[in-house]
Amino acid sequence: MIGIGKSFLGVRVLGEVDLVAAAGEVHAVVGENGAGKSTLMKILAGVHPPDEGTIEIDGRGVSFGHPLDAQRAGVAIIHQEFNLLPERSVAENVFLGREPVRRGLVDRPAMDAATARLLGELGEDSFGPRDPVRHLSVAQQQVVEIVKALSLDARIVVMDEPTAALAEHEVDLLHRLVRRLQGRGIAVLYISHRLREVFDLADRVTVLKDGRLVTSAATGELTPDGLVRLMVGRDLGSYFPPRATSAGETRLRVTGGGNDRLRDIDLELRAGEILGLAGLQGSGRSALAKALFGAEPFTRGRMTPVRPRTVREGIAAGIGLVTEDRKAEGLALRQSVRDNALLVARASGRGRRDGVRELLERVRLVPPRQDREVRYLSGGNQQKVVLAKWLTVAPRVLLFDEPTRGVDVGAKAAIHDLMRELAGEGAAVMMISSELPELIGMSDRIVVLREGRISGTLPAGPSEEAVMRLAAGEVAA
């Protein structure tokens, strides 16, 4: 892609952007939300025509008037939110709209056989062509999307935040699949906000900022600190705000807490500190946050000053929960920013209903427009609206479940700063994160869960190995 330019309604969103990817190369495309990554990929996929510039595939100039044109030219995009029909089988999803026909009927045996062959090429044997997609995990659904791309004879595969909803062990599976695509000579364009993934996987990195090309370089020529500086103009060293020097009074204490998913939980959250909560997928991290909040309450043990049995009781007790899935559980996507910011205040009858603009400015929503529907915001801005929603009731205890999942490094920094500000104002903050560098960089203490129990507690700044040993149950602390 050479000299690509694009404007919408007179606003220039891309200007003279070059992107060159080789066969068998994993090429990371990085930048803050709004940098132009999605627009550039949509131009490649035939969704938007470029206003300026040219596209060549295998040395030949191409022009796409429709996404099907790009698909026929060998371009496949795997979106962060999958395009699968859950009630259909794996094979029916792979060949949707392109079903093989024999004697006027869909040739299901041929479709199943072709899907099985592609699954075999990827080394995937945990499910088969006839399994309904609704029975598959998120990682397995992603495999189906990759198989669909292979069935189209894709030469270029675009992956948009492919690990945003994956557990740690599922990320390893995805990385192995990316290596297999690379081995087949496919060019993989990999969009990610996770710097570790970029350096682990990518051969080359292209950095966009404000719709323009900053640089394109071999990964070995860059450092994490230098890459962050290119993306946002901020050093990695200032990526996490300073930790608390001391904690205040106990805001919440659990003794022997338990329910169907948790056992023997002894926990203390103190004013002024950020408590990190680590553990593998299924360890009970989200279940603990929901129990503290009253969404899936404790049925055993003591919790002081109150053990909420419902969400309403949790809010009344001054507890807030930023849920893991902001779209499904945190926002009303077709309502305005203002209506979403007031969800908790209106539903609970508590807190302030004025000063919404000031709250949106505090969470650094850009621009702080109150009338726009939330579904049109970037992931980072959607998360900021969720935070503003809780600021209206000023909770004394605030639980963050994967607060920076799927947001860019600039939005991450804003969320980190706000979390530390809230702790500094006397709130007790608990943070769940699958990104160990983030958890270690932000936490004053780290509690590690394993199989619904606390397997140990670590002081500030432990090694990743120390956290993983406790998460895997190798040692006790």
Domain co-membership, 216 together with 330? no
Q: Band the pLDDT of 256: cuts 50, 70, 90.
A: very high
What distance in Å separates the CA atoms of residue 329 and residue 344, rounded to the nearest whole number?
A: 13
Domain co-membership, 228 together with 278? no
Q: Is the pTM of this model over 0.85?
A: no
What distance in Å separates the CA atoms of residue 183 and residue 414, rounded to the nearest whole number?
A: 39
Domain co-membership, 134 together with 275? no
Q: What's the domain count of the chain?
A: 2
Domain co-membership, 349 together with 303? yes
Q: What is the pLDDT of residue 476?
A: 42
CATH number of the domain to which 43 belongs: 3.40.50.300
Per-residue pLDDT tens digits for 110-121? 999 999 999 998
Q: What are phi and psi of 323, to 5 degrees?
A: -70, 160
Q: Alpha helix locations (H) across 431-472? A: 436-442, 464-472
Query: Is the pLDDT assigned to residue 363 strictly greater than 60?
Result: yes
Domain end, chosen from 233, 259, 278, is at 233
Q: Band the pLDDT of 405: cuts 50, 70, 90.
A: confident
Query: Is the pLDDT assigned to residue 122 strictly greater than 90?
Result: no
Domain co-membership, 345 together with 455? yes
Query: Residue 239 falls within a domain, yes or no?
Result: no
Query: Residue 244 falls within a domain, yes or no?
Result: no
Query: Residue 220 falls within a domain, yes or no?
Result: yes
Q: Band the pLDDT of 469: cuts 50, 70, 90.
A: confident
Query: Is the pLDDT assigned to residue 477 strictly greater than 50?
Result: no
Domain co-membership, 120 together with 218? yes
Q: HSE, CB side, 13 Å, CA atoms: give it for residue 300.
A: 11
Query: Residue 271 falls within a domain, yes or no?
Result: yes
Lowest mean pLDDT: which of 34-38, 316-320, 405-409? Answer: 405-409
Domain co-membership, 281 together with 406? yes
Domain co-membership, 314 together with 409? yes
Query: Is the pLDDT assigned to residue 236 strictly greater than 60?
Result: no
Average pLDDT, the chain: 89
Tokens of 261: 């998913």
Domain co-membership, 191 together with 267? no
Q: What is the pLDDT of residue 6?
A: 94
Q: What is the pLDDT of residue 237?
A: 53
Query: Residue 404 falls within a domain, yes or no?
Result: yes
Tokens of 329: 């559980």
Domain co-membership, 255 together with 148? no
Per-residue pLDDT tens digits for 330-361? 999 999 999 999 999 998 888 777 888 888 98
The label of the residue with tokens 């360890």 reads 283
Is residue 284 a contact partner of residue 429, using CB atoms and an 8 Å limit?
no
- Characterize the bridge pairing of strands 101-102 and 52-57: unpaired
- Concatenating the DSSP letter of every residue in 56-114 gives EETTEEE--SSHHHHHHTTEEEE-SS----TTSBHHHHHTTT---EETTEE-HHHHHHH
Query: Is the pLDDT assigned to residue 189 strictly greater than 80?
Result: yes
Mean pLDDT of 221-238: 75
Tokens of 85: 């029909």
Query: Residue 197 falls within a domain, yes or no?
Result: yes
Domain end, chosen from 204, 233, 262, is at 233
Domain end, chosen from 201, 233, 265, is at 233
Domain co-membership, 10 together with 106? yes
Q: Which residue has the higher pLDDT, 281 or 79?
A: 79
Lowest mean pLDDT: which of 30-44, 65-79, 222-236, 297-311? Answer: 222-236
Could you tell me what percent of the chain has a pLDDT over 70? 96
Per-residue pLDDT tens digits for 127-177? 999 999 999 888 888 899 999 988 988 999 999 888 766 766 678 888 888
Query: Residue 293 falls within a domain, yes or no?
Result: yes
Query: Residue 242 falls within a domain, yes or no?
Result: no
Mean pLDDT of 369-392: 89
Domain co-membership, 278 together with 187? no
Mean pLDDT of 52-57: 96
Q: Give the domain range for residue 296.
A: 250-472
- Characterize the bridge pairing of strands 187-191 and 26-30: parallel
Q: Which residue has the higher pLDDT, 242 or 311?
A: 311
